[in-house]
Amino acid sequence: MTRIVVIDDEYLVVEGIKALLSRQQNDYQVVGWAYDGIEGLSVVREKQPDLVITDIRIPGMDGLSLIETAKEFCPDTTFVVISGYTEFEYARRALRLGVKGYIDKPVSREKLFDVLDDVRKDDGYRSAHEIERLQDAGIQGLTRNDKELFLGSSRKVLALLKEYYPDPADLRRESYKYLCLSGDILMEEQPQADREEMASYKDMEKQNTADEILRYSEKVLQNIARYMKAYQTGSSHRTILEVLEYIDQHYQEDISLNELALKARMSTAYLSVLFKAEVGQSFIKYLTGLRLKKAKSLLKEGYKVKEVSEMVGYINYRYFCDIFKKHVGQTPHEYKENVWVQ
């Protein structure tokens, strides 16, 4: 299945493409969308899609600039552009960036699927060589302890395996081989990791359909990623691994140590001591550091300071600015200006 992100400033265009692709559920899945270039870049970074369909003229950052920037962290993603404009300069830049297709507005079902068919016929799009190359990238993510690279590459490997091996038996075999390889590499790096949380032949054999195989594979990938996160913090405690995973997924919410203690089924005082012992810093310090790291990344992408404050969990804008300056040494506005000047 090809995972797609759609970016266009016209709501009806986005919804229309989503509706057309939803009818081809076995071939395409829209995993994200956006209505401007800056938001679109963030969605592409997060989702690591197989294909991006973007308008050229969108606010915040034009489509071709988005493509150029996204290729730095999504080198394997395919791009298709849509536009009501046919200026030569746009076409020349698109070709230089390796754009695989062009759809002129208004977008119709015929135009959309003609381009998508051309993309899928592209030599190597689903080739064994591409799978092998992505496997190497996933392994690099493991050895470098780069969780995002590992997960992004591994998900693409599994998606390509599903297309390359339509027979569930073949898909089970090849997916299991990749998961075992990943688990073995992790165990070499972290011998304390629980082997039972890696790929199990017995459990894999219970998965009868392609979707079941991919769901089970995703579970194993998440277990591996959790240990990668643990390696960064130095923790190997199962409860703390689960707490760290929850924080990473909900840092933008108003989460508290009391809430985490309830989920972990232990007292707040004990979790506080255990967290600091395992992670090396208090819960508040860890959460603040994570939020500020995310905030700096969003500021670099061009978001407004007030937007960033809310996106990383600080409803009180003034408090966010004070915390940012205290830890970073400059205000969010100063940080943003210095980034863009550079």
Last residue of a domain, one of 121, 141, 157: 121
Q: What is the pLDDT along the chain (342 residues), one digit of tens a residue?
A: 788 999 999 999 999 999 998 887 667 889 999 999 999 999 999 888 989 999 988 898 888 889 989 988 888 788 999 876 555 556 566 666 778 788 888 888 888 988 888 787 664 444 555 777 777 888 888 877 788 888 888 998 898 888 888 889 989 998 998 898 888 888 777 776 777 888 888 999 999 999 999 999 999 998 888 877 665 555 556 788 788 888 988 999 988 888 888 888 878 887 887 888 778 888 999 999 999 999 998 888 888 899 999 999 998 889 999 999 999 999 998 888 876 544
Strands (E), the chain: 2-7, 28-34, 51-55, 78-83, 101-104
Give pTM, 2 decimals.
0.41
Tell me: do 207 and 317 sit in the same domain: no
The CATH number of the domain holding residue 326 is 1.10.10.60
Tell me: do 157 and 109 sit in the same domain: no
Residue 230, pLDDT score: 62
Tell me: do 7 and 112 sit in the same domain: yes
Question: How many C-beta neighbours within 10 Å does residue 308 have?
Answer: 23
| Contact yes or no for 86/104 (Cβ under 8 A) | yes
Residue 340, pLDDT score: 52
Residue 106, pLDDT score: 85
Tell me: do 97 and 56 sit in the same domain: yes
Residue ranges of alpha helices (H) inside 79-146 are 88-96, 109-121, 128-143
- The total of structural domains in the chain comes to 4
Tell me: do 110 and 134 sit in the same domain: no
Residue 342, pLDDT score: 47
Cα distance between residue 226 and residue 55, in whole Å:
36
List beta partners, residue 82. Answer: 55, 103
Q: What is the domain range of residue 308?
A: 284-341
Last residue of a domain, one of 90, 121, 152: 121
Cα distance between residue 49 and residue 46, in whole Å:
9
Radius of gyration over alpha carbons of the chain, in Å?
22
Tell me: do 206 and 264 sit in the same domain: no
